[in-house]
Amino acid sequence: MDKKKGMIFIDTNVFIIDLRYKRDKHFRKNRAFLDFIASGNKGVTSILNFLEICGILSFNLNRQQLMELFYFMPEKYKVDVMPSHSIDSHIPALSVREIMDIMYGKAGFGDALIAGFVKRSFSEETIFVSWDAVHFKDLLPMKVYTPEDFLDSL
C-alpha cells in the first residue's frame, strides 16, 4: 500500500470534544480547527479512531443514532476515513511486534494501535493532530500538533 501524503490526520479526542464537550476549555480552538478542515484541507482519520468515537458515544446513543453517527460523521466533518468507511470493511492488522515496539516508547495500547496504523499508512509529510500531542511526539516520525498549535503554525 502506498503511503498517503500531505494529509492532516485527526485523532479521536478532537472529534469527541466537538461532539460531546461544548464547555471544554479547548472547544473554541477545537471548533476553529475542524472548520479549517471542513473548508477542504485534506482531513483524515482512521477506522480505528472512528470506531473509538462510536464506542465512546455508544453509551448515550441508541442503535439508530449510532448508525447515523457512523454513516454521516465523515460528511459532517469533511474527513476521509482510512482505509475505508464501509460497515463491511476490516480493521487494519498490525503485528504484535509493531505494537510492542511502539509501547516500548511509553504508549498505552490505544495510542500504540493508532500510532502503528499512522506510521504504516501515512508519509512523514502527514501532520498528526491530537489534544494528546505530547503522547505521540516521540512515537511518530511526522509533525505532531494540538489543534491550537496547528492553527498557530499557519
Confidence bin at 92 (pLDDT 50/70/90): confident
Specify the number of domains making up the chain.
1
Residue found under cell 468515537? 53
On whether the pTM is more than 0.85, the answer is: yes
Which CATH number characterizes residue 44's domain? 3.40.50
**What residues contact 143, with CB distance under 8 A and at least 6 apart?**
127, 128
What is the per-residue pLDDT for 2?
60
Which tens digit of pLDDT belongs to each residue from 21-74?
999 999 999 999 999 999 987 999 999 999 999 999 999 999 999 999 999 999
β 127-129/79-82 pair status: unpaired
**What residues contact 63, with CB distance under 8 A and at least 6 apart?**
none
Task: Give the C-alpha separation, 69 to 123, whole Å.
Answer: 29
> Is-contact 16 27, C-beta < 8 A?
no
Which tens digit of pLDDT belongs to each residue from 6-23?
799 999 999 999 999 999
Whether residue 101 is contained in a domain is answered as no
Burial class (CB in 10 A: 0-12, 13-18, 19+), 51: middle
Which tens digit of pLDDT belongs to each residue from 108-152?
999 999 999 999 999 999 999 999 999 999 999 999 999 999 999
User: If DSSP codes are grouped into helix, strand and coil, which group holds residue 121?
Assistant: helix
Q: Range of 71's domain?
A: 8-91+126-133+142-153
Whether residue 99 is contained in a domain is answered as no
What is the per-residue pLDDT for 41?
77
Whether residue 121 is contained in a domain is answered as no
